[in-house]
């Protein structure tokens, strides 16, 4: 079975005036479809940079990123947008819901952008609202929802296009422990149904729940729980 | 993104910030309303002048003494520098022209009029019986000057409505003797009031036979000869014949100017059309200003919605989708402004018509289309830059923004 994600020789360098920041250094990484990966490490170690790269929101300066066997670093911006639309779901720490849209509209947004017809959208949104326990919140705006509800809307939105992987950058960072626990359980359920789940977290107990842990430090992959001592 | 979704998205984005949106629409509306109202005024002025000119009489050819148009070097003019005057004989000779229907000589001067101890300065017009027909004037009472020998004429006068009121008040004017200058006239008619208008106002005029007016002013010249052509088609023929007859009578010298009412009208028409166009242009500047406002507001909006743009990109929106979302929003705001401005402008023009019923303040169709078109085009044109800016935003940095 070919790896879902294959990074080889990735370098990501930010230029700040004269100084250079190596956010990622000679990174080689392979993640199979259906894996549950926690990315951990101190602040500034490059976790978010890695996730942005995996989500095609950012580009490596050097190196190759293969997604489902295809080199995606050389794709045009339009093709990359299409990959994001169809294969990748994002969950953010700060939810990133559009404030003027209702919960249902926020969930439907990826389908709206993809040009899926309204009837199909309505059907899928209805199902998602039910699945995530938001049926009675469909017409509420984000500011009328609790943090946990907002993140559930965000997860529903991330899954509505049935992506191959979910990228979550500190999805519980803005939630209390109990709510964070619920959100993690939702994500893990998705993983159990076959979606590849990659979660960035500071929380070691949350990270420990993943079957595979990656430890980042200073832009390098320090430790990979599936490989003994790199 | 499907078009209805795009429109709904843009609409929600616009209504999400009502103050910004309403200010923008207002700016656009003021620009369009300015175009509509100002061109309504300009075109109204044009139509007003045309209607006033038409009321002078139709198919009119006017003869003026002296040559006003320079038609190159004329040896005749070089010898006799003072042009020959127009005389009653000249006027009468014009009746021979086949294209001429009526001729009215006109001698003008000022004099004093008195009746029953009341005295005032008046304009005296010496003419003949044809004058009332040529000028399409109406009588309120009595009759006009009688037909007869142009070189004689009974001591009869027709007075303007205002003169009648001032001199006679509640008394009857008809049949009364008045003194004009050092002569006595019998009032035989009163002109109908014409109100204000272009050219000669008959309300304050005393009309007497041309021969008597000339005697009164001690001259034998005419101020104008008014010629009515047989019809609209024969205006040019009448003009040519009149010029030829006068040239022959003046020993081959073209020392008179013959103008047609159509030519005067065309000049005014052109002048006032140009004025309307200029006014529309000035008003269109306010539209350009509104366009720049659209650009700035949309740029601010891009900055405010940076994180949303980042999100849309993360959710799979292409640069083109984001561009069209912002362009649609700019176009919608401009359209709303243009429609509102159109309604305001039409309302303003209607108000002007209400206040001044004589003034046909209708905005010309071209101005309405130009106004609406300019609003849309500037709105969209100035929306391009912010839209492109939005589409170019880096998703990672945009998402990091609050
Ligand atoms: N746009 C940028 N310009 C310059 N430097 C950047 C940029 N983005 C990230 N960096 C730098 O790259 C390094 C890695 O950043 P990154 O955001 O990936 O860290 P992180 O592991 O996610 O940290 P945290 O746990 O605080 O979120 C940091 O030193 C950061 O300062
Ligand atoms: Mg981070």
What confidence score (pLDDT) does residue B68 get? 61
How far apart CA A230 and CA A215 sit, in angstroms, is 11
- For residue A39 and ligand 1, the question of a CB distance below 6 A is answered with no
Ligand nearest to the CA of A50: 1
Q: Which residues of chain B have pLDDT under 70?
A: 55-57, 68-83, 195-200, 402
Query: What is the reported pLDDT for A100?
Result: 92
Ligand 1: centre distance to CA A66 (Å): 23
Query: DSSP alpha helices (H): ranges in A88-229?
Result: 103-114, 118-131, 147-159, 177-192, 204-208
Residue of A nearest to B316 (CA): A85
The answer to whether residue A141 neighbours chain B at the CB level (below 8 Å) is no
B110 — phi, psi (to 5°)?
Answer: -110, 150
Contacts of B383 (CB under 8 A, 6+ apart): B294, B295, B298, B326, B327, B329, B330, B331, B334
The pLDDT value recorded for residue A50 is 96
What ligand 1 atom has the least distance to the C-alpha of A45? 21
**Ligand 1 mutation target, pool A13, A22, A23, most atoms within 8 A of CB:** A23
Partners of residue B396 in chain A, C-beta under 8 Å: 52, 57-58
A17 in contact with B, Cβ within 8 Å? no
Structure tokens at A54: 């995996």
Does A123 reach chain B within 8 Å, measured CB to CB? no
Distance CA B28, CA B38 (A): 16
The C-alpha angle A129, A201, A194, rounded to 5 degrees, equals 50
- Closest residue to atom 2 of ligand 1, CA basis: A14
In three-state secondary structure terms, B366 is: helix
Closest Cα in chain B to A78:
B318
Of the partner residues B12, B316, B399, the one whose CB lies closest to the CB of residue A113: B316
Residue A20, ligand 1, Cβ within 6 A: no
Pocket probe for ligand 1: among A14, A174, A220, the residue whose CB has the most ligand atoms within 8 Å is A14
Q: Which atom of ligand 1 is nearest to the CA of A42?
A: 25
Q: Is the CB of A48 under 6 A from ligand 1?
A: yes
CB contact under 8 A, B1 and A115: yes
> What are the contacts of A82-87 at 24+ separation with CB within 8 A?
A82/B316, A82/B318, A83/A56, A84/A55, A84/A56, A84/A57, A84/B313, A84/B314, A84/B315, A84/B316, A85/A110, A85/A113, A85/A114, A85/A161, A85/B315, A85/B316, A85/B317, A86/A114, A86/A161, A86/A163, A86/B316, A87/A163, A87/A164, A87/A165
Chain A residues with beta carbon closer than 8 angstroms to that of B321: 113
Q: What is the pLDDT of residues A178-191, one digit of tens each?
A: 999 999 999 999 99
CA max distance for chain B: 102
Atom 6 (ligand 1) nearest CA: A14
Give A133 to chain B, closest Cα distance, Å: 22
Query: CA distances (Å), B60 to each of A57, A114, B144, B147, in order?
Result: 80, 72, 20, 20
CB B158, CB B131: distance < 8 Å: no
- Name the closest residue on chain B to residue A79, using Cα atoms: B318
* pLDDT value at residue B116: 86
A107 touches chain B (CB under 8 A): no
**Cα(A205) to centroid of ligand 2, in Å?**
18
Q: Which ligand has the minimum distance to the alpha carbon of residue A42? A: 1
CA-CA distance, B11 to A229, in Å (whole number)? 56
**What's the rounded Cα separation, in Å, for the pair A49 and B396?**
9
CATH number of A3-224: 3.40.50.300
Give A229 to chain B, closest Cα distance, Å.
32
| Averaged pLDDT score across all residues of chain A | 93
B113 alpha carbon – ligand 2 mean position (Å):
102
Taking an 8 Å cut-off on Cβ atoms, the answer to whether A57 and B395 are in contact is yes
For B215-231, the pLDDT digits (tens) are 999 988 999 999 999 88
Kindly state whether A157 is in contact with chain B, defined as any CB-CB distance less than 8 angstroms: yes
Contact B381, B334 (CB under 8 A): no
A174 and chain B in contact, CB less than 8 A: no
Residues of chain A in contact with residue B307, where contact means CB-CB under 8 angstroms, are 96
- Residue B167 CA to residue B161 CA, distance in Å, equals 10
Single pTM value for the model: 0.73
Burial class from Cβ neighbours inside 10 Å (0-12, 13-18, 19+) for residue B220 reads middle
Inter-chain residue contact A90 with B314, CB threshold 8 Å: yes
What does the pLDDT average to over A69-75? 93
């Amino acid at each position: 079975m070919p790896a879902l994600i294959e990074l080889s020789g990735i370098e990501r360098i930010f230029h700040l005036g004269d100084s250079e920041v190596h956010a990622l250094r000679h990174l080689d990484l392979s993640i199979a479809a259906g894996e549950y990966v926690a990315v951990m490490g101190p602040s500034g170690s490059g976790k978010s940079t890695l996730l942005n790269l995996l989500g095609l929101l950012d580009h490596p300066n050097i190196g190759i990123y293969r997604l489902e066997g295809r080199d995606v670093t050389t794709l045009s911006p339009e093709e990359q947008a299409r990959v994001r639309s169809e294969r990748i779901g994002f969950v953010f720490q700060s939810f990133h819901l559009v404030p003027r849209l209702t919960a249902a509209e926020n969930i439907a947004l990826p389908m709206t952008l993809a040009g899926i017809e309204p009837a199909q959208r309505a059907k899928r949104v209805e199902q998602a609202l039910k699945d995530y326990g938001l049926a009675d919140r469909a017409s509420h705006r984000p500011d009328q929802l609790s943090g946990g509800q907002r993140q559930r809307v965000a997860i529903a939105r991330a899954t509505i296009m049935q992506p191959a992987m979910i990228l979550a950058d500190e999805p519980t960072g803005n939630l209390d422990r109990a709510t964070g626990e619920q959100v993690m359980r939702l994500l893990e359920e998705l993983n159990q149904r076959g979606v590849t789940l990659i979660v960035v977290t500071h929380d070691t107990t949350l990270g420990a729940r993943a079957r595979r842990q990656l430890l980042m430090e200073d832009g390098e992959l320090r430790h990979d729980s599936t490989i003994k001592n790199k | 993104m499907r078009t209805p979704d795009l429109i709904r998205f843009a609409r929600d984005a616009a209504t999400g910030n009502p103050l910004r949106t309403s200010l923008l629409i207002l700016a656009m509306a003021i620009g369009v309303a300015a175009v509509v109202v100002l061109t309504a005024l300009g075109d109204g002025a044009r139509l007003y002048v045309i209607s006033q000119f038409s009321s002078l009489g139709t198919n009119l050819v006017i003869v003026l003494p002296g040559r006003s148009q320079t038609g190159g070097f004329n040896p005749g003019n070089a010898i006799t520098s003072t042009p020959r005057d127009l005389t009653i004989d000249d006027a009468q000779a014009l009746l021979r022209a086949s294209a001429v229907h009526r001729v009215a000589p006109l001698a003008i001067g000022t004099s004093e009029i008195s009746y029953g101890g009341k005295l005032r300065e008046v304009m005296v017009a010496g003419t003949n019986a044809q004058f009332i027909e040529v000028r399409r004037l109406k009588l309120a009472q009595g009759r006009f000057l009688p037909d007869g020998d142009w070189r004689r004429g009974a001591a009869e006068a027709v007075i303007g409505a205002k003169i009648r009121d001032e001199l006679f008040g509640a008394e009857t004017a008809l049949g009364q003797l008045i003194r004009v200058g050092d002569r006595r006239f019998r009032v035989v008619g009163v002109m109908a009031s014409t109100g204000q208008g272009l050219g000669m106002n008959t309300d304050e005029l005393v009309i007497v036979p041309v021969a008597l007016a000339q005697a009164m002013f001690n001259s034998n010249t005419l101020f104008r000869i008014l010629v009515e052509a047989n019809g609209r088609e024969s205006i040019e023929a009448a003009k040519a014949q009149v010029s030829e007859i006068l040239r022959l009578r003046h020993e081959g010298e073209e020392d008179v100017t013959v103008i047609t009412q159509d030519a005067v009208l065309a000049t005014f028409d052109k002048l006032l059309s140009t004025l309307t166009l200029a006014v529309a242009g000035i008003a269109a500047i306010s539209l350009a200003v509104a366009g720049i406002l659209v650009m700035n507001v949309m740029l601010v909006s891009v900055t405010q919605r940076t994180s949303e743009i980042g999100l849309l990109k993360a959710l799979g929106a292409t640069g083109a989708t984001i561009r069209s979302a912002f362009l649609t929003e700019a176009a919608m705001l401009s359209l709303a402004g243009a429609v509102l401005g159109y309604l305001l402008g039409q309302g303003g023009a209607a108000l002007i018509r209400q206040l001044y019923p004589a003034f046909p303040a209708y905005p010309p169709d071209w101005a309405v289309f130009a106004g609406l078109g300019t609003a849309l085009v500037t709105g969209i044109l100035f929306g391009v830059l912010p839209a492109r800016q939005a589409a170019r935003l880096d998703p990672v940095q945009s998402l990091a923004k609050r």
